[in-house]
Amino acid sequence: MKLMTAVILAFGSPMVLLPITLVGGLQGLVAYFRKQSSVPYVFSIFLGTLLYTVVPLILK
C-alpha cells in the first residue's frame, strides 16, 4: 500500500492505478492457472507504472 501511495503522489493522478490494476489482474490469473499460492505485486506495480508513462510517449 505504501508503494502505491508513493506512485500516486509522484504522478499526482489516481489514473495511474488503472494500468496497475490491469497488470495485477493479469498476473493474478497467470498465478491462478499455474497454481501458485503467492504473487509478488511489486512487479505489477512497476509494470503498470511503466505502461502509464511509456504508452503516452509512444502514441504521440
Taking CA atoms, 24 is separated from 16, 30, 43, 44, 54, in Å, by 13, 10, 8, 5, 18
The reported pLDDT for the residue numbered 8 is 87
Structural domains in the chain (count): 1
CA 32 to mean position of chain CA atoms: 18
Grid coordinates belonging to 7: 506512485
DSSP 60: -
The pTM (predicted TM-score) of the whole model is 0.82
Per-residue pLDDT of the chain (60 residues; tens, 9 = 90+): 788 889 888 988 889 999 999 999 999 999 999 999 898 989 999 999 999 999 989 998
pLDDT in the model for residue 41: 87
Question: What span, in angstroms and rounded, lies between the C-alpha atoms of 40 and 38?
Answer: 7
Residue 52: its pLDDT value, please? 92
Euclidean distance between CA atoms 18 and 7, whole angstroms: 12
Q: Domain of 42?
A: 2-59
